[in-house]
Copies of this chain bind each other. A is one copy, B any other.
């Protein structure tokens, strides 16, 4: 990288490909203004890297660029022994705000909120309010789009958007024109619930209040876009059968990547070993009629695929609150019908394929038609079963307090494989007893 010409945009492009050392080094090539913009754009972990590598004398100026909620995010990335030192770099009021924020869970409203919001008193006139807001705009408030009307004990009485202030008659009292039917969140409201509030009501900011109705801070929509993306990423990664990576793909170290994937993969493997046990019971049948083995991959993967479909649809519907826990019976009936329909379609396809091959090449010996019938019936059973397991598992997990997204496609497929084998060999012994078996 040419030291003389690197711009913030070029560095943004290259950033995800650089090692931590290269990041710190190339950051040093930016002009001071670009470095500031860039610093504010990168993830807290990278901000921390940059601060660690800066000479002690200028660390203070970097960390003071951050709003209290961003400073809190950075401190959460820091090693425990670093924290006190970093905290000491903040100015005293910010330090107090940051300590308060650090007491909240990172994924709660409390962890997302900023304590710097614009405020008004209820007895001001609209003209006074605009003047007061113009003054607050020069200070460090997160947004002036909404001004919150508080009484002397910080109770949240109402809200006015700047636009409402602009269009209200200048001599009316704020208390008379403010909106009081406002959407707010508690300090421990989960970020996923908050993002649904934003999405449903098309909001720019949500106030966070304590149980007594006292204003604690605001969560702004720019943080929520990140939350929505991050929650979806975590769900998707879990649904693919690994732990959430918690960092962009190329920035996860090789060892930690293998560790995050090996856990689930090994657990699934141990579950899948049960298929070897189940198959052990049917070894005699297979020795007698090896043709049965031919359809094993087809049968179990059809169960796995239909289970993956169902579990994915339900996990996402639960995440978006399109479906609630109490809807399980409704969902179960729908999935029963869907599973039966899908099973019938695959059963018919399988039956047709075997009968055609049998007529054309005599592939499956004397009992081709019975084999076709066995496979078709097994498919109906396995697909129905896969669909029901796949759609129920996310409900069971949520009921037990786990994340429904852990009902990953591979997890469901593994569950369905063992039972799929049992269904197949049971159907086979019913239909083929006395002929092949």
Copies of this chain, whole number: 2
- Quick check: A313 and B279 within 8 Å, CB to CB? no
Chain B residues closer than 8 Å to A241, beta-carbon distance: 305, 308-309, 312, 409
- Quick check: A313 and B242 within 8 Å, CB to CB? yes
The A contact surface, by secondary structure, is helix
Q: Separation in Å of the A131 CB from the closest CB of chain B?
A: 10
Chain B residues closer than 8 Å to A309, beta-carbon distance: 240-242, 261, 264-265, 410
Task: Scan A261-290; emit 1 where CB is below 8 A from any B CB, else 0.
Answer: 110111011101101100110011011001
Q: Which of A385-430 contact B (CB under 8 A)?
A: 408-410, 413-414, 417, 421
A212 at the interface (CB under 8 A from B): no
State in angstroms the CA–CA spacing of A301 and B202 once bound together: 44
Chain B residues closer than 8 Å to A166, beta-carbon distance: 133-134, 137-138, 144
A3 at the interface (CB under 8 A from B): no
Chain B residues closer than 8 Å to A346, beta-carbon distance: 265-266, 269
Task: Scan A83-109; emit 1 where CB is below 8 A from any B CB, else 0.
Answer: 000000000000000000000000000
Q: Which of A131-170 contact B (CB under 8 A)?
A: 133-134, 137-138, 144-145, 162-163, 166-167
**Interface pick from A18-26, A49-57, A71-79, A218-226:** A218-226
A350 at the interface (CB under 8 A from B): yes
Chain B residues closer than 8 Å to A268, beta-carbon distance: 301-302, 305
Chain B residues closer than 8 Å to A201, beta-carbon distance: 41
A249 at the interface (CB under 8 A from B): yes
Chain B residues closer than 8 Å to A17, beta-carbon distance: 327, 330
Chain B residues closer than 8 Å to A254, beta-carbon distance: 334, 337-338
- Quick check: A414 and B269 within 8 Å, CB to CB? no
Task: Scan A286-299; emit 1 where CB is below 8 A from any B CB, else 0.
Answer: 11001101111110
- Quick check: B275 and A349 within 8 Å, CB to CB? no
Chain B residues closer than 8 Å to A325, beta-carbon distance: none
Number of interface residues of A (CB under 8 A): 111
Chain B residues closer than 8 Å to A199, beta-carbon distance: 225-226, 229
Q: Please, which residue of chain B has its CB at the minimum distance from the CB of A247?
A: B322
- Quick check: A240 and B239 within 8 Å, CB to CB? yes
Task: Scan A109-135; emit 1 where CB is below 8 A from any B CB, else 0.
Answer: 000000000000000000000000110
State in angstroms the CA–CA spacing of A138 and B273 once bound together: 69
Interface-central residue, A239, A241, A245, A338, by most chain B CB under 10 Å: A241
Listed by A's residue number, 10 A-B pairs whose Cβ atoms lie within 8 Å are A16-B322, A41-B200, A137-B163, A137-B166, A241-B308, A250-B322, A250-B323, A268-B302, A269-B346, A279-B295
A254-B338, A286-B293 given. 13 additional CB < 8 A pairs? Answer: A12-B200, A17-B327, A202-B222, A236-B239, A242-B312, A245-B313, A250-B334, A269-B350, A276-B353, A279-B294, A280-B363, A287-B290, A293-B293
